Chain A
């Protein structure tokens, strides 16, 4: 009788611990549910990659529009050439991302004009800034354009540095590693030209 009581007590003490160790199926706390956990983790990783790519594509769209405007409205030849460089750099970066997204994430390829903005508020701010730029020309345009490029590229470099360390897929990380030095060069050129203009 006494032994039986001890067994019951021990079982009553251990049972909650064993149940707690099982955790909730389909989550990280469920060793028994690792296939489900892996699927959930994978979905989370894919979702994060999609989010990062959408942000970068929106950023590319903004720089492309500004670069195209600079080729027409810039006051100096260097700023006009910088506009062309920006368009080529960001179009190239966008192509790489679109290829990756179509291949790995099943995202549809679409022309630039059909990209839905990821952050509508940010996009609205940039549209307003671009409309302001469109009213300027010559040295005023150069100053406003280059200031915008410096702040935009600082944000872009920061975004890609974070994304490079946090995305799961090594292919995507490789893309970011190739694009990041190009963005830093574009930032350097904008800062140098801004110093010349200022």
Chain B
């Protein structure tokens, strides 16, 4: 029978022993918070750019809301903005959860930040060339006119993704002691 050793959690990776995965619930929770973090950073960047160019800080929400209403959403009020915010939040949570669940073990922050930024730029390409042309051509026509702001917004989203290890660690540490994974030694 194969033997295993009880090791402190921090040394599990160094010994090549696969760390025990956190529960799915903890991963989903961490993913939601990761998505919210990245989404908030990205929206802050877009709002700052919109305010600086005279569109008003809440204009990005109108742009997202154009998914449901068409061009007239650009002059819409609270209802349009709320629907835009809801759609944006769901999208950010989904992307954040996918990234967080892909983060295995306890990677270091700096490499994960870089991977997060790459992930953000991948999402930029996916949204700009696959999703937006069909789901929201109004928004696409406007964001390709401001490529710099669109790029930095997705970098900000990626940096939020890169916080995934920190966020996951916090969620894991909240679990009860009896839920900690253990490896039993062969007697």
Contacts and interface: CB of A to CB of B under 8 A. Distances in A.
Q: Do the two chains belong together in a single complex?
A: yes
Contact of A88 (B55, B70, B71): B55
A185 B71 contact: yes
B46 to A, nearest CB: 14
A189 B71 contact: yes
Interface stretch (A29-37, A52-60, A76-84, A158-166): A76-84
Interface residues of A, number: 20
Contacts of B118: none
Nearest to A84: B56
Interface residues of B, number: 16
A193 interface: yes
A25 interface: no
B54 A87 contact: yes
Contact of A193 (B72, B138, B145): B72
Given A192-B72, A193-B72, A185 B77 contact: no
Interface in A63-106: 77-79, 81-82, 84-85, 87-88, 91-92
Contacts of A188: 70-72
Contacts of A92: 53-54, 145
A143 to B, nearest CB: 16
Contacts of A91: 53-54
A194 to B, nearest CB: 12
B122 interface: no
Contact of A178 (B71, B77, B145): B145
A85 B74 CA distance: 8
Contacts of A47: none
A77 B55 contact: no
B128 to A, nearest CB: 14
A88 B53 contact: yes
B72 A178 contact: no
A192 B71 contact: yes
Contacts, number: 46
Summarize A's interface: helix, strand, loop or mixed: helix
Given A178-B145, A181-B141, A182-B145, A84 B72 contact: no
Nearest to B66: A185
Contacts of A81: 74-76
B138 A185 contact: yes
Nearest to B142: A182
Interface string B143-170: 0110000000000000000000000000
A189 B141 contact: no
Nearest to B140: A181
Contacts of B70: 188
8 contacts: A78-B75, A81-B75, A85-B74, A91-B53, A178-B145, A182-B141, A188-B71, A193-B75
Top 3 closest A-B pairs, CB basis? A181-B141, A88-B54, A81-B75
Interface of A: 77-79, 81-82, 84-85, 87-88, 91-92, 178-179, 181-182, 185, 188-189, 192-193
